[in-house]
Structure 1
């Protein structure tokens, strides 16, 4: 993968914008990761679903990032900033997931850290929130490592896999230190 496509990187993890040309590789990664994601999230696994997914990233209300290996470009996960609001709020909602190729190896923690830095830098945001189902221990551990703080509980917050699911609300602001596991050096 040409380095010019990368927005940021560590020695072993990089982020870049998710592109429509990623469709075949992205769908393959989603299918290989189905058990990893269930029951926490459901990702598009058809060409039509991927194109609808990509339609959200219009440049102002949402931004999609692929977490990949520098050099090879292997897809390791994704991070999205959804519901971006500028003005006095300057906030977005973070969504993320590892793909099987990157699961359990710290790539998603590094990728989330890189996206947080990008959000607080070039995107000009002040706050990011991550809403996580209480039983999703891996996701809660990831946001803790990244430097997010627990702010609250939202019952029946999101409709996932046929039911309304409770979520914990975690947040980080541009003034807070980024966790060292998330490239906070």
Structure 2
């Protein structure tokens, strides 16, 4: 940092206060002075910086960067902890919630993933079933597939009987 006119280490006073007509930049104690605007380091100070000497400004910038990095690390850590707590909460709800809650969560997951919400709800509900419940569900589905032709025949017979009764009454 340079010396500003009117401060200790400088023989000049601020030109605005004295009405001094001199040039905007003058030499003062080995530094160029920009009459109160920006003090520029002299060549000896620039050489010290280039040789590896660390100035207070460089230390301040490095410390501020470290502080910002620590702050960001702490903020992201807190955010991730909150997200993990929320995920554990949802896992607990799905574990205790039963078939209906798992069906809803499965539908929501499918909707977020861009898939069919009905299929996602079915998968969520089935995932909540115990192994014995899954075996029972599979048995019911297999029986329904095997008995489907019988059911169709019974429905057709009922329609034929209804048609015959309707014709006989007319």
TM-score normalized with structure 1 length:
0.21
Whose helix fraction is larger, Structure 1's or Structure 2's? Answer: 2
TM-score normalized with structure 2 length:
0.22
Higher Cα Rg, which structure: 2
Whose strand fraction is larger, Structure 1's or Structure 2's? Answer: 1
Greater relative contact order, per chain length (Cα 8 Å cut-off, separation 6+): 1
